[in-house]
Chain A
Amino acid sequence: MSTRKTISRFVAIGGICTAVALAATGCGAGGPASAGSAASNTVNVLVEAGGHAELTGVAEQCKKETGVTANFVELPYDGMFNRLSSEFSSGNVSFDVAALDSVWLPSFKDAVQPIDELFTDEAKKDIFPALVKEANVDGHFIGMPAWTNAEIILYRKDLFEDPKNKADFKAKYGYELAAPTTWKQYQDISAFFTKDGMYGTDVKGAVETEWLAHVLQAGSPMVLDADGKVIVDNAAHKEALDFYTSLVKSAPSGAAQVDWAAAQNLFNQGKTAMTRFWAHAYRQIPKDSPVAGKVGAAPMIGGSAGVAGVPGPWYLSVPKATKNTEAAKKFVKCAYDYNSMGIESSLGLAARISAFEKYQDKPGYESFKPLIETLSGKATQTRPATAKWQQIVDTVLIPTLQKAVAGGDSAALLADAKKQIEALLK
């Protein structure tokens, strides 16, 4: 009898829950916005979770100025490419604007609309040259840079300004201890600070961007030349790889597994004296970190071709399948017009040169001058425009780098990498 009562209760509770759930199903708890709706003044903007904050201020301003309301769909970075691929291939999109990582542009070039009219001469002058070039795919601009980043040098100002360190360094190396500008200086300073449980730098074996920045500094395009020929085994790639691996002795062990998060942790914990890292990290040092308030920023180091970095921009694109093109383009224009508002966000980045310049002398934004200098470097280049890029990175470049930092022969590894990349591109 009691069992029957229990069952009856379950059925009753289940019935009520179903009724409530089904009643609410018409519009989920997230809000009433209709995905992929017909033309209206509301746009759905698909962003990587870290990028939402960047565009919040823009959205508020855009609503005031044009009446366009933006609803943000946040997705984790790792799942965003799958979601974009799935919706673009189905031709039924749930968003009107998408923030695309630069490496995805070649993959989605046929699914997004040209926005040439937004790239005025004035706009082209105010966007870093490498980004203007990257946004143009097959003769049309298909993405407006929303924010960009590049690796710069973050260093422990307190250690660099310590009189004993300065004197000891000069005695040992014959020049003043200061933020490094060359490969040689970076090697010397890294070696100098590797003592008493501390390391001069980190070596990231699990990410490829930093090595590729050194390739640019050595005067070669990354991996593919302008004609799409694989050049990963040329002298510049080898020189950059040898420099990269030479730092292993001044870095914490396990370099092959060190990625961005690990390197950032090591620096914020005070375990490394310098790091080559994305500029946004300067403003994200935790207040309770032992290095808070003790960090300086400098442009990325230079090789024979000068200072160079690999930009990490995100572009706002309008899918061809949206029914809301007009409002979507209005939002993209707002994002350009009010680009500097992203700097006030937690990520603190923008894409326009004028936006960075507006803040570069303000306290707390000391990383902007080095960032502008790095992004404006003559040798700075974006990643090769191939839809296979992510595959090349994951299956060839990172494994090659990991073998190299573990002591592999750089020439042999690069020759092997060339064969693998050629096979992928066939």
Chain B
Amino acid sequence: MRVAERTRPDAGKAAAVIAESSVPSTTHDGRRKRRGVNREGLEAGRRSTRTLLWVLLAAAMVLYGFPFLYLLFTSFKTPIDTIAVPPTVLPKEWTLENYANALGRSGVVASFINSIQTAVISTLLSLVLAIPAAYGITRYKTPSGRVFIMAALVTRMVPPVAIGIPLASMMASVGLADTPIALSIAHTTISLPLSIWLMSSFFEAVPRDLEEAATVDGCSRLGALWRVVIPVVSGGIAVTAIFAFLASWNEFLFALLMTAIRSQTTPVVIANFQTQFGLDWGSMTALAAVYSIPVILLTLLLQRKIVAGMTLGAVKG
């Protein structure tokens, strides 16, 4: 400091400024000040990141939510409003007529029951088959298990129509034509590979120590699976169940090819509002809105499980 004061008159002031702003200080005050500055900077950075994330989240919500909102609003429009050129988002006049038309159409209630039957059976089939398959693959790690899990994906690589037409023929030949069980089996071909893969990742996240501890406490292998592992992956099971249920609930092509009078599901009935002679937008959107309610309710009901399931793999290791 003294050398600096002698050579330049303002050197002392400059050095003080430098000392305050950039040169590391050994005093408690300087450290506190520096930390304060850093904390403010970090806070500001976090705030801007959070703002950016909220903006992106809002944009994503609008992007994904708008089509559904548009469908919902259209279901309350009058016939001429649904075909307005240019289209309007909100109805000029709100009406429940479309809901009365859609729900009053013959076969709609039956199709709802068929959809529920089919989706429930298909979901249960997927879980019953996927849980032991995935557990075996992840715990035994045999070469055949690795081949099996890859082979399970093959059905996802084939166009559904290529499976649908022979399946329809097979079901007819075993007397299952036009039954919910036939359609459930077909839907299971879609959801099972995904369920096996999902459940495998969830089982991978469960430490082996847990099972070993259960075994030490007197549990058999199956007992450990049932009493320890399954409760731990219950969130993952909920996620898998939701995906399997949705795959069946929304499926159209197999339903088109394999159902007739007894087991027609609602997606086919919704499509029936589009005929060669016109498209009844109002009734179609009304039925689609009603059809989406069970899925929304189910997702809300299992929301906690789903979030838990989605983060299950994140804590691994």
Contact = CB atoms under 8 A, between A and B. Distances in A.
5 contacts: A29-B263, A71-B261, A73-B264, A86-B257, A268-B83
Contact of A271 (B85, B107, B109, B234): B85
A174 interface: no
Contact of A90 (B80, B114, B172): B172
Contacts of A22: 121, 181
B275 A29 contact: no
Interface of A: 3-4, 6-7, 14, 17-18, 21-22, 24-33, 35-36, 44, 46, 48-51, 71-79, 82-83, 86-87, 89-90, 92, 94-95, 101, 149, 261, 264-266, 268-269, 271, 278, 280-281, 284, 286-290, 312, 347
Contacts of B291: none
B161 interface: yes
Interface stretch (B14-22, B51-59, B63-71, B265-273): B265-273
B178 A28 contact: yes
B277 A35 contact: no
Interface string B89-117: 00000000000000000010111111011
A32 B80 contact: no
Nearest to B255: A79
A123 B165 CA distance: 38
A24 B114 CA distance: 9
A128 to B, nearest CB: 19
Interface of B: 78-80, 83-85, 107, 109-114, 116-117, 120-121, 124, 161, 164-165, 168-169, 172-173, 177-181, 227, 230-231, 234, 253, 256-257, 259-264, 268-269, 271-279
B276 A50 contact: yes
A101 to B, nearest CB: 7
A49 B272 contact: yes
A81 to B, nearest CB: 11
B275 A92 contact: no
A278 B120 CA distance: 43
A30 B79 contact: no
B7 to A, nearest CB: 75
Contacts of A87: 168
A371 B274 CA distance: 24
Chain B interface helix/strand/loop/mixed: helix
A28 B277 contact: no
B279 A261 contact: yes
Nearest to B176: A25
Given A50-B277, A72-B261, A89-B165, 20 more contacts: A24-B117, A28-B179, A28-B180, A29-B112, A29-B114, A30-B110, A30-B261, A30-B264, A35-B262, A74-B107, A76-B271, A76-B275, A82-B161, A90-B168, A92-B169, A264-B83, A266-B85, A269-B84, A281-B278, A312-B276
B72 to A, nearest CB: 21
A77 B180 contact: no
A357 B277 CA distance: 22
Contacts of A90: 165, 168-169, 172
A95 B261 CA distance: 10
Nearest to B302: A10
B277 A94 contact: no
Nearest to B177: A35
Given A28-B262, A28-B263, A50-B276, A92 B177 contact: yes
A73 B262 CA distance: 9
A35 B274 contact: no
A51 B277 CA distance: 9
A28 B80 contact: no
A22 B262 CA distance: 14
B111 A284 contact: no
Contact of B173 (A79, A92, A278): A92
Contacts of B78: 286, 288
Contacts of A51: 275
A142 B79 CA distance: 39
Contact of A31 (B85, B110, B116): B110
A79 B161 CA distance: 11
Contacts of A14: 120, 124
B277 A278 contact: yes
B169 A82 contact: no
Nearest to B127: A14
A75 B268 contact: yes
Contacts of B113: 24, 28-29
